[in-house]
Amino acid sequence: MNASDKTIVSLTHVAKHFGAVRALDGVDLTVTAGECLGLVGHNGAGKSTLMNVLAGTLSADKGTISVHGHDLSGRYSVSTAGENGIRCVFQELSLCPNLSVAENARIFHPSLTGFGWKRRAGDMIHAKLDEIFPGHGITPDDVVADLSIGKRQMVEIARAFTTTNAPLHLVILDEPTSSLDAVTSGQLLDFVRKVVGSGISCILISHVLGEVLNYADRIVVMKDGLVVASKPGSDFTRDTLVAAMGNVVEVEEIKDHQAFEAKRGQTEIVIEARSDTALDSVPLVAHRGEIIGLAGLASHGQTTMLLKIYDAAMRNKRTPKVDGPVALVAGDRQTDGVFHLWSISRNVGVRSLRRMVKRGLIDPLAEAALGREWQERIKIKTPDMDDNILSLSGGNQQKALFARALASDADIILMDDPMRGVDIGTKLEVYDLIRDEAAQGRTFLWYTTEMDELYNCDHTYVFRDGAIVADLTRDALSEEKILQSSFQESA
Amino acid sequence: DTSGKRIALSNNYAGNSWRQAMLGSWEKVAGQAVTDGVVAEAPAFTTAENQVTEQAAQIQNMILQGYDAIVINAASPDALNGAVKQACDAGIVVVSFDGIVTEPCAYRIAVDFKAMGKVEVDYLATRIDGGNLLEIRGLAGVFVDDEISAGIHEGVAEHSQFKIVGSVHGDWAQDVAQKAVAGILPSLPDIAAVVTQGGDGYGAAQAFAAAGRPTPLIVMGNRYDEMLWWKEQKDANGYETMSVSIAPGVGTLAFWVAQMILDGKDVPQDLTVPFLTVTQDTLEDSLAGTQPGGVANVEYSLEDAMAAIAGK
Amino acid sequence: MLAKLTSPRFLRAALPAASFTILLLAIFYVQPRAMSYFGMNLMLQYTVPIALATIAQMFIITVNDLDLSIGAFVGLTACIGATLLADTPVLGVLALAACVAAYAAMGALIHWRNLPSIVVTLGMSFVWLGIAVLVLPTPGGTAPGWVKSIMALKVPYVPFPIVAAVVIGCVVHVVLMRSSYGVVLRGAGGNPKAIGRAGWSLLKTKMVMFGAAGFFGVLSGLSLIGLTSAADAHIADRYTLYAIAGVILGGGEFVGGRVSPIGAVIGALTLALTGSFLTFLRISPDWQIGAQGGILILVLALRALINRREG
Amino acid sequence: MTFVKTLSQKAWIWSFVGMFAVWLATAVYTGGKGSADVLTAALSFATFTVIVGIGQMFVITTGPGNVDLSIPSTISLSGAVAMKIMDGSNAMLAIGFAASMGCGVAVGIFNYILIRVLRIPPIIATLSSSFLILSSAIAYGRGLKIKPPPLLADFTTAQIMGIPVLAIVIILLAAVMGVVLNRTMYGRSVLAIGQNMRAAWLAGINVERIRFFTYLLSAVLAALCGFLLSGFSGGASLNMGQEYLLASIAVVVIGGTSVAGGKANVAGIWGAAMFMFLLVTMLNTFGASAGIRLIMTGLIIVAVITIAGGDEPQR
Ligand SMILES: Nc1ncnc2c1ncn2[C@@H]1O[C@H](COP(=O)(O)OP(=O)(O)OP(=O)(O)O)[C@@H](O)[C@H]1O
Ligand SMILES: Nc1ncnc2c1ncn2[C@@H]1O[C@H](COP(=O)(O)OP(=O)(O)OP(=O)(O)O)[C@@H](O)[C@H]1O
Ligand SMILES: [Mg+2]
Ligand SMILES: [Mg+2]
């Protein structure tokens, strides 16, 4: 009885099938009070599905679920989860874009009614944002649609931690840091430690293994719908964790991998752009075959710059100068990327239609072949590329978008933090892919919120407040330098 | 003397040939009256949509503009009463025609639609021994449709040799009628005659031809295309029928009535005008007097109007 | 302060009001007599039922549906109002309540089978019209006295239609935009999945919104016969399109729960006023219909100017 | 069995099921008399609805808020212009046809300018332009009712073994449009834009060009409908397009095209158009009163769509 006192939820033999796909194949999981449980696994391992079961948004085909020692199997739903203090920040954002931040907070709390509810909801979410993300720059009256994806993610996280009269025992964070920059990620993870100290539990899913290793009390590893390891966090090292996830790829330290020779000057300039601020210290320049990193804190003008370049290329504008066809890998896949009615193949092929036209008509065989080729090359985990794109796990959807751009005829690939939610194994392969393509003359503009990825780049431009404030070559690149430029007050 | 007076026409619909003919007559007669200095102004206003509320608003705007008389072809007999009453209260003379209004303060130039329906069957009784009839009605829920149809049914009750075996709504539009008739025709027995409400006879003829059925006796509605078809048939095989409808020029009668009232003349509140009948003998004349795409018409001069009133 | 006044969101919100004001000024310019208590009263009277129907349509658009039957429905309630409600008030009230319930049921059906609302409401528009024709085979009937007297209300200084428009706009604004349940209703348009995940019943939101639309449809029908004093099955056919156009003109969007009740009311008034403006101009009858389109385009072209600034 | 199941999941199949059921009910009522002829009639009239339905389908597929309300007046204008120019002479047929197409192109460009340059929401833009177009038709022809050239009249009413020639042509057109929708860059782009305009743009699709072609196509098909319809019904009239306003939307949606955009079906338009015609015919045959007829029409439409059910909810 004592043990179950500390146990918040326990799932046993939970199974969930989608047609032929066994997303969950008999999973056991317990969460005890006041622990931070790290959950890792390759894309499509079943993490989000498991969390959906826990949050009550999916009902399991088999297995039991008990909360605080009460068996609730069969009558578990979103509202029972809520009543029992279980909250979830889903991988795909669940805010209403047409509502303000305060109103979105209200949605979460049925008891927030009566006169003055708006002020109360606003104060509540604002206080929580202040607590988790000091300096967040969000006001309760902001309409969610006007916020960048990073800020939306912050709002959603903060919302999950707000309390009114309902209890709060467990917060599930499904890849909460995928759209946050290093600084805000750190703020969140520190907050998670603090909350855990106060007795509330968290489940933290992330593909950035460092986050899990450093912040989780216990780490659960999933693979193909099964839990394959569950040990205290301190028992894992980066290598053993990767091994447990079943990746055969040797983990090479990216930092050491490179032997970049300075290419600059050897090939012609294909992109030359300035931000709209007129405060740039240098213009953004890309030569053919270069990989250019865009760094800085999230939404400080990097995406805007990519869109500006994209727009210029699409409309044949003179400035900024863009030489060659472009393709873009969207990071905010829900609003910028997927075509939700289409199969995976079609989603991959849409940027390459022109090549698939035979005698005026799109050749379905060519389309299917392209899909298969990229399923192979980038390891999209699905039984059938003709399945709907939304049947993919989040990371696999992202891979499909990657495939869309790489498969195209574009010489210039713009990447808007493209690795959001992609697992470590795939990432390493994609890095190789990108380097190979660059070697063959493709140019990459790569906005990323993950410091490590910048070590793949020949040049890194740091953005602050919409302006380019630094141009770091590969040799000069270091985490400190980037952080320094990101925060430095303009004199 | 009405030379300083302003008369406006409030028209609810302009999307068919009858209304276009009506507007044309108005422009011709009222325009001449303005040139002659009989009245100061006589503009016509049409609403974009055939809609009671729009026309009511239009009438209210006319009140605001201070017209002395408003001539109305109304979208609904009752539903404009509110606006008409306001106009009367503002001292404006209101004359309605074709689509009349029931508000007691307004003048009405009505057509006995019921009689029009009955005339059709009476005519058939003189022509054929009896048989099956197909009835093409207008727009469901509209007063004129009910009146004409009631007249037709009354006629059929009187002449028991006729039997209505099918009834469709043609919405007074040639193509709608054609479509509806084409649909029901295959399931109908031999049709001896078609009774219509105007604007739909030619469509019915087309539908019969398309179905390969013998052309029955179709009562026409004075439209140019109907008369033209009739003429062709007449020349080819001696086809014989009749045609009946209200003349679009009745609007000009309404104009003169309004003018006379403004002039202080004594005019009865309710006038009935005869409908215009085209027979086998008058067909050529009517056809010649109608412009392509128009409707057989009679325009009224002041004298005609006086005569019409006196004849009452 | 100035920054706030020139912010895109404020401009966008102010757009419908700006279009309306400009149209009104143009009308005052060509017909100064309209600029009076009496004139405004006359000119705007018939906008009250249109505004109510527009609000009804707005509720439906809020939850990402579209109602092609609101015009026929207003016609039906007008017919019931001018017959049953006047003759046997109890029966009339019951019939109108049943109409509202039928609307809510329509919402439930659409949610339950995940149906395209356009087809369902198109089908239902025939049903409403059919019932209306049965209730009132030929135009006529009389509106109950109390309905007429409400619509004939004389408010000092401010014309009644303006008072009514402000009241309608504000009441709906408070309920939909300010109340705590209104947030859930709009959220159901913005991201239904999120609302479901937060534990709310989407079925209930649909039924509430369709029910509300039905209720405002009834109000629209009654206010209409209050003005006309008699009914006609086809009396409001065109309201369907007007209501949709009014919502959009008022800054609403077809999907995503982005609507504005005050904007919708203003949009309805703007649409209705284009007709009036026309009567005050002298245009050849051939081009009068077209002129109404032209005026609409002119009024809306203003938006392009402001949108340009938005970038 | 699995064949039946996959078939029943296709939204468009239900329009054909509805059509067949209604036709059968009529045949039973009349004891089979003229059942084949009813189908012939249905084919002839559905043809016109299908022509405008195809255009409307492409417009609706480009996403919520996109709908062409100017179709009816474009039909009227095109018919009036063509009839007046041809003036019943076979020799002028080609010129008349070109003029009619010209009307369509002009209307399409005008609509698109309103939507694009003046940024007027499509539904209001096309509503406004429909007023202007109707006025042009009035000013141009005043409801002119000139007979079509005999050649055109013969062509539009000709039949081969009980099947209207025009219907065969339009079935072919529909087949071509089906291929255009599913197998060409243009069709794919329309489907992509309908799902997510921003994502389509970012996937390299020239959004505005596609939207332009779509509104142009709708207007041109409306013009074609006007041209053929005035040949079929013996001349143009001002109100001849009126019934195609709601009908064009209805057949598209009943035919399985999603109003939310991105999902379209051409075959379903034929089923839906036939269904709508046969439905009216059935109720006319039953001879019920107008009120009952209307109620039945509505309930049957709702019933068919309810049985068909909506889209499966996405993950
Ligand atoms: N609605 C669905 N229909 C069909 N298959 C699904 C559905 N939802 C999930 N799946 C499949 O279930 C498996 C597990 O998916 P899940 O989203 O749980 O993965 P994940 O571990 O969260 O991956 P990621 O790290 O990429 O987010 C995947 O193979 C996915 O394709
Ligand atoms: N720079 C951009 N970034 C993201 N989406 C865009 C961008 N430009 C256009 N789009 C998307 O594609 C749609 C149509 O593209 P297009 O650029 O032709 O229109 P627009 O941006 O409104 O035009 P303009 O920039 O000439 O005023 C837009 O409505 C928008 O959704
Ligand atoms: Mg996941
Ligand atoms: Mg990240």
Span C194-203, pLDDT tens digits = 999 888 999 9
Cβ neighbors of D73 (< 8 A, separation 6 or more) are D130, D131, D133, D134, D137, D241
CA distances from A415 to A166, A268, A326, A420, B151 (A): 42, 21, 11, 11, 77
Mutate to test the pocket of ligand 1, among A393, A399, A423 (most ligand atoms within 8 A of CB): A393
pLDDT at C1 over 60: no
Cβ neighbors of A87 (< 8 A, separation 6 or more) are A55, A81, A108, A160, A161, A168, A170, A171, A172
Sequential pLDDT tens for chain A (491 residues): 344 467 889 999 999 998 878 889 889 999 999 999 999 988 888 999 999 999 988 989 989 999 988 888 888 888 888 888 899 999 888 899 999 999 999 998 888 888 889 999 999 999 999 999 998 989 999 999 889 888 999 999 999 999 888 789 999 999 998 888 888 999 999 999 999 999 899 999 998 888 999 999 999 999 888 999 899 988 888 888 888 887 655 545 454 445 455 567 778 888 888 888 877 788 899 988 889 999 988 878 899 999 999 999 998 888 888 888 999 998 888 888 999 999 999 999 999 998 888 888 999 999 999 999 999 988 888 888 999 999 998 889 999 999 999 999 999 999 998 888 888 888 888 888 898 889 888 999 999 988 888 888 888 999 988 889 888 888 888 888 888 888 765 43
Q: Does residue D282 form part of some domain? A: yes
> A243-247, A394-398, C47-51, C81-85: which has the minimum mean pLDDT?
A243-247
The dihedral through the CA atoms of D43, D44, D49, D54 has a sign that is positive
Q: Which chains touch C (3 or more CB pairs under 8 A)?
A: A, B, D
Locate C100 and state its tokens: 């509202």
Contact D237 B17 (CB under 8 A): yes
**Residue D152 pLDDT grade (very low, low, confident, very high; cuts 50, 70, 90):** very high
- For residue C191, list chain A residues with Cβ-Cβ distance below 8 A: 94-97
- ipTM computed for the complex: 0.87
Locate C63 and state its tokens: 């939850």
pLDDT at D315 over 60: no
Contact D145 B183 (CB under 8 A): no
B contact test, residue of C133, C138, C148, C273 with most B CBs within 10 A: C138
Q: Does residue D14 form part of some domain? A: no
- The residue contributing the CA closest to ligand 1 atom 10 is A391
CA distances from D200 to A335, A368, D189, D206, D208 (A): 10, 20, 7, 8, 11
CA distances from A83 to A80, A92, A164, B280 (A): 5, 23, 12, 86
Q: By percentage, how much of chain B surpasses pLDDT 70?
A: 99
Q: What is the pLDDT of residue D3?
A: 60
Locate C152 and state its tokens: 């004939």
pLDDT at B142 over 80: no
* Closest approach of A190 to chain D, Cα-based (Å): 33
Contacts by residues A262-269 (CB-CB < 8 Å, ≥ 24 positions apart) = A262/A458, A262/A473, A262/A474, A263/A287, A263/A289, A263/A290, A263/A458, A264/A290, A264/A458, A264/A459, A264/A473, A267/A441, A268/A323, A269/A321, A269/A323
Q: Separation of A178 CA from ligand 4 center, angstroms? A: 4
Q: Is D223 helix (H, G, I), strand (E, B) or coil?
A: helix
Q: How far apart are the first and last CA of chain C?
A: 21
Q: What is the pLDDT of residue A100?
A: 94
Q: What is the pLDDT of residue D270?
A: 94
* Closest approach of D155 to chain B, Cα-based (Å): 12
> B141-145, D26-30, D280-284: which has the minimum mean pLDDT?
B141-145
pLDDT at B16 over 90: no
Q: Are strands B69-73 and A459-464 parallel, antiparallel or unpaired?
A: unpaired
Contact C195 A107 (CB under 8 A): yes
Locate A306 and state its tokens: 């990519």
DSSP state of A46: S
Contact C194 A96 (CB under 8 A): yes
Mutate to test the pocket of ligand 2, among A309, A311, A416 (most ligand atoms within 8 A of CB): A311
Q: What is the pLDDT of residue B307?
A: 86
Nearest by CB to C293, from D129, D296, D300: name it. D129
**Residue D105 pLDDT grade (very low, low, confident, very high; cuts 50, 70, 90):** very high
CA–CA dist A157, A176 (Å, integer): 7
Q: What is the pLDDT of residue B17?
A: 78
Name the nearest CA neighbour of C184 among D250, A117, D156: A117
Q: Where are the alpha helices (DSSP H) in A143-296?
A: 149-161, 182-197, 209-215, 238-244, 254-257
* Closest approach of D126 to chain C, Cα-based (Å): 9
CA–CA dist B275, B24 (Å, integer): 19
Q: Separation of A258 CA from ligand 4 center, angstroms? A: 22
Q: What is the pLDDT of residue C97?
A: 97
Question: Nearest residue of D to residue C114 by CA position?
Answer: D310
Locate A369 and state its tokens: 């072949």
Q: Is C235 helix (H, G, I), strand (E, B) or coil?
A: coil
Contact D277 B179 (CB under 8 A): yes
**Residue B260 pLDDT grade (very low, low, confident, very high; cuts 50, 70, 90):** very high
> C119-123, C281-285, D187-191: which has the minimum mean pLDDT?
C281-285
DSSP state of A143: B
pLDDT at B166 over 50: yes
In this prediction, residues C222-226 reach a mean pLDDT of 93
Locate C256 and state its tokens: 């995503």
Q: What is the pLDDT of residue A70?
A: 87
| D128 close to B (CB below 8 A) | no
Say which residue the tokens 């907070």 belong to: A105
Q: Separation of D198 CA from ligand 2 center, angstroms? A: 7
Note whether A touches B: 3 CB pairs or more under 8 A. no
Average pLDDT over all residues of chain D: 88
CA–CA dist B113, B99 (Å, integer): 11
CA–CA dist D102, C225 (Å, integer): 45
pLDDT at C100 over 90: yes
C contact test, residue of B12, B63, B78, B146 with most C CBs within 10 A: B78
Q: Does residue D124 form part of some domain? A: yes
Contact C300 D301 (CB under 8 A): no
Q: Does residue D75 form part of some domain? A: yes
Contact D234 B225 (CB under 8 A): yes
Q: Separation of A429 CA from ligand 3 center, angstroms? A: 19
- Counted across chains A and D, CB pairs separated by less than 8 A come out at 66
Q: Does residue D119 form part of some domain? A: yes
pLDDT tens by residue, B96-126: 998 888 889 999 998 888 999 999 999 999 9
A contact test, residue of C183, C195, C254 with most A CBs within 10 A: C183
Q: Separation of A20 CA from ligand 1 center, angstroms? A: 12
pLDDT at C282 over 80: no
CA–CA dist A238, B172 (Å, integer): 82
CA–CA dist B289, D164 (Å, integer): 37
CA–CA dist A263, D18 (Å, integer): 68
Contact assessment for residue D130 and residue D116, using Cβ atoms and an 8 Å cutoff: no
pLDDT tens by residue, D17-38: 888 999 999 888 888 777 888 8
- For residue B150, list chain C residues with Cβ-Cβ distance below 8 A: none
Locate A92 and state its tokens: 């795909």
Rounded (to 5) percent helix, strand, coil in chain A: 40, 25, 35
Residue D117: CATH number of its domain: 1.10.3470
pLDDT tens by residue, A228-238: 989 998 888 88
Contact B51 C50 (CB under 8 A): no
| A371 close to D (CB below 8 A) | no
Q: Does residue D27 form part of some domain? A: no
Contact assessment for residue C227 and residue B56, using Cβ atoms and an 8 Å cutoff: yes
Say which residue the tokens 């302060």 belong to: C1
CA distances from C193 to A17, A55, A205, C227 (A): 21, 14, 22, 43
pLDDT at C45 over 80: yes
Name the nearest CA neighbour of C215 among C53, C45, C47: C53
Contact D45 B14 (CB under 8 A): no
Contact C191 A110 (CB under 8 A): no
The values of phi and psi at residue A176, to 5°, are: -70, -25
Q: By percentage, how much of chain C surpasses pLDDT 70?
A: 94
> B29-33, B288-292, C159-163: which has the minimum mean pLDDT?
B288-292
Nearest by CB to B141, from C38, C233, C292: name it. C233
Question: Nearest residue of C to residue D315 by CA position?
Answer: C193
Q: What is the pLDDT of residue C303?
A: 66
- For residue C107, list chain D residues with Cβ-Cβ distance below 8 A: none
* Closest approach of A409 to chain D, Cα-based (Å): 11
Contact assessment for residue A291 and residue A456, using Cβ atoms and an 8 Å cutoff: yes
Q: What is the pLDDT of residue D6?
A: 62
Strands (E), chain C: none
B contact test, residue of C31, C154, C232 with most B CBs within 10 A: C232
Nearest by CB to A330, from D185, D202, D262: name it. D202
CA–CA dist A96, C251 (Å, integer): 19
Name the nearest CA neighbour of B150 among B177, B180, B113, B125: B113
| D195 close to B (CB below 8 A) | no
Q: What is the pLDDT of residue D48?
A: 95
pLDDT at D115 over 80: yes
Lining ligand 1 with CB less than 6 A are: A 18, 21, 23, 41, 43-49, 91, 381-382, 391-396, 421, 423; D 315
pLDDT at C11 over 80: no
Q: What is the pLDDT of residue C91?
A: 94
Name the nearest CA neighbour of A356 among A344, A343, A365, A347: A365
Contacts by residues B216-220 (CB-CB < 8 Å, ≥ 24 positions apart) = B216/B134, B216/B191, B216/B192, B217/B124, B217/B127, B217/B128, B217/B192, B217/B193, B217/B241, B218/B193, B218/B194, B219/B120, B219/B123, B219/B124, B219/B193, B219/B194, B219/B195, B219/B243, B219/B244, B220/B196, B220/B244, B220/B278
CA–CA dist A392, A390 (Å, integer): 5
| B57 close to C (CB below 8 A) | yes
CA–CA dist B178, B190 (Å, integer): 17
Q: How many CB atoms lie within 10 A of CB D249?
A: 27
The values of phi and psi at residue B253, to 5°, are: -60, -45
- The residue contributing the CA closest to ligand 1 atom 28 is A44
Please count the structural domains in chain D.
1
Locate C271 and state its tokens: 């649409």
- Kindly calculate the radius of gyration of chain A based on its CA atoms and give it in whole angstroms: 23
- For residue C194, list chain A residues with Cβ-Cβ distance below 8 A: 94-96, 107
Contacts by residues B30-36 (CB-CB < 8 Å, ≥ 24 positions apart) = B30/B252, B30/B255, B33/B255, B33/B259
* Closest approach of B223 to chain D, Cα-based (Å): 9
pLDDT at C278 over 50: yes
In this prediction, residues D233-255 reach a mean pLDDT of 87
Q: What is the pLDDT of residue A371?
A: 93
In this prediction, residues C23-44 reach a mean pLDDT of 86
